[in-house]
Each structure stands twice: as C-alpha cells, then as structure tokens.
Structure 1
C-alpha cells in the first residue's frame, strides 16, 4: 500500500471520528494487523504485519522521602502482568555535589492494575552530604518499556525531603498510547481520545505532538504529516524519552 493511500485512510478515520455524529466509531487500526514502525530522523516509516501493541505498562506514582531512604510507588496500568521488574533509585547533588548514590532492586512480577512500593535501604552515605538533590526513579520489566520519573529534594542531616510538586515524568512526544513507539497506532489513539472520549495520553504532553501546550486535532495532522509526508519531527523529547524541556505557557 502506498503512503498516500494509507494517509487517505487515516484522514477518513479522523474525519469520521471527529464528525458531529456521536455514534461514529473508530476502528483501531492495530486490530487489522497494520503497524508503522518507529521513524528515525533519517528514515521513512515502513509497514509491517505485526501488531506491536504492548499491553503491559508501568507507571511511577508518588515518590516519598524519609529517614535516610526513598520510597516510590510502581503501578502496572496495563492489561497483562509485568514480568522480571527491576528498578533503580539514584540520588545526586548536595553541597559541592558530594551526594551520588544509587540503589537497585527487583520484583518478580506486578499484576495488572496492581501497585508495589519500592524503597531503598537506609544509607549512611547520605550523611556525608547536605543540600538540594535530584532523585531519579527508573523502572523496567522484560515485557514493558522503561519508565523514568525525576523529582527535586533536600537532604538534611538524617532525612530526605521530596518536593513532589516539582516532578518530571519522562516520555516520548507523539507516543500517545505509551507503547514506546511513535507510529500509526498513536494517530488512532489520539482520535479516539479527542472524538470518542477515549483514554487520555499519559502523560498528556505525549499527545501534544506540536508542543503548543494543547492537545487537539492539530496534533493528529502534525503527526500524520510527520509519518507519511516527511514532515517536521516532533519537538523534544523525541526520539528518546526525557522530561518536557518546554515550560508551560502562562
């Protein structure tokens, strides 16, 4: 199938989904075993016959401080069990950058819609530094993409204080469905969200493909132009996951 034909199909889906007919139904393209693999800055998208949808998704919840330790909640928001889950918590910073310590751990599995709390061992290494720190939590599984969340904090004597309002969640701009790829499935996901009250991208910024601080049909058109017409790449963070470098517009 030629790219222009496939783009025509996408356009029809968007027009039908976003019409004034409330009963309009979006047929998810991944059900037809059509997928567009991730596009690098120098490659055109290619069509495969594999359904690349990943039904296991991990999410990092609240990060807490405590007595010489850090705690974090991990939730499997997907439909299948996350296997061989491993995690890393790294604390860096302090006065003269004297704090640089990391902790690792493993959980055999996290069932669907289940949360697990991870926590570091109490470390005397934190006694050798004081001041503002950056706390980075990274989690992965054998059947799920790596997720990362970063918060600011403060080490004071025996306690680690976390500033939860200053968290930074890592994501790929354009990866609306959170499967770690930017492809045709994200077009369908955005159309379903905008026109059929489907689930929102998580985080919402992942669906803000043109980075105008608003998720709208403009993002669907931007993504389609990028995938099929060699249009402009999504702004950072793309193609690798990272925090949003663009401050919200006031």
Structure 2
C-alpha cells in the first residue's frame, strides 16, 4: 500500500532577509525540523524570491546535485569552472558539485524580482568532477502533459544528474487527469504544486503544497482548476 507524507504550504520554514524571501520545504539554514530533513535523496526544496539587483555571493558546495528552476524573472549564474549563464522561465539549470565548486547567483535585473526553485539532491556517486549545464524547454510542450526536464542519463530528455531521478513539469487545464508511472522500482515521487489546485491519489493539494508518495508504482493526478505542478521522482534510500 502506498505511503504518503503531506506538507502544506503554510507549514514550510520561512526566512525573510529583505533581499531574499525564502520558503523551505525541508530543513535548511536556520530552519530545522527533525521530521522534515529530506524525502529520500531530495534534500532541499527552497522557494526563493530575490529582490532586484541582489543575490547570493560566491559560496562553495561539494557532493551535491543542485538544480535551479526559474519561475519568473532572470537568474544570473557564475562559477569557479568559468561558467556564466542567465536562466529564465522555461530553463532548467544543473550543477554537479562533486569534488567542490564555488558559485554565485544574482538577480539579472535591477528593477524586478526573480523567483526560482533551488533543489538539492544527494548524488549516487561522490567525488565526481564538477559539472554545469542548462537547457531551455518549450513551456507549451508541458500543456496537459508531463514534460521531462531531468533524468539520470545524458542520452535521455532534459538535464541529467548523478542520481536515478526524473523531474517532470506540467501545465494543466481544469479537469485534465493523467497517470504517472514510476521509472524505477523503490523510488518515490514528491509532487509540488506551483500554482492552482490538484488531486493526487485522492489527496487535495493547493498552491505550494507538497505530497511525497512511495511504496507504489504509479500515481493518479487530476487538475481541479488550471494548475502547474512539478513531479520529482527520486530514490528513497540515501
């Protein structure tokens, strides 16, 4: 029988630094809840808004897969590997920190906010060479379907990471329903509602709610109104 864990939007950790307004689904920085440290290998799911012209100064990471998904505005990236890039809605960025990398992120515009998801996934291999990639996706290709934007393989659709994980984005009309079949036995899926209302396996979810599901091979998803969702399939064993 499927197991689930529900995280309502208003139960997330919250830190407002003025220039940064961040909501934490899992324990992060000053927010710690021993019951909400991770979902399988999904370690961080931060919902960040950065003021115009502001950003994160250069800081290090290692042995983590870091994914950024912009929701509005433009995010500028620079790292110690020599990469510079700007990502916008429709783009997905990945950085395999591996043996160690330093990077900075800032709002590319001085006069508007940037909103993005910062996601960390534990890798299945430690000590890999650091790597950076970003890809652009047609937003219309996720209309009433689940568009794959991340996988474990460079030969599959989307960016890839060192983990048996698959991410899908969907922009759904009211009444649309679909079945998501898990790619790998033993994995779970964390459903994060970006906008609107959906029902997943009978559980009603609203904007910024999260639902983790495991011990199943599929889930049923229905949009109860216009909705946007992110599905993150990840191994449950760290």
* TM-score interval, smaller chain: under 0.3
Query: Which one has a bigger Cα radius of gyration?
Result: 1
Q: Which has the higher helix share?
A: 1
Instruction: Select the structure that is richer in strand.
Output: 2
With normalisation by structure 1, the TM-score equals: 0.26
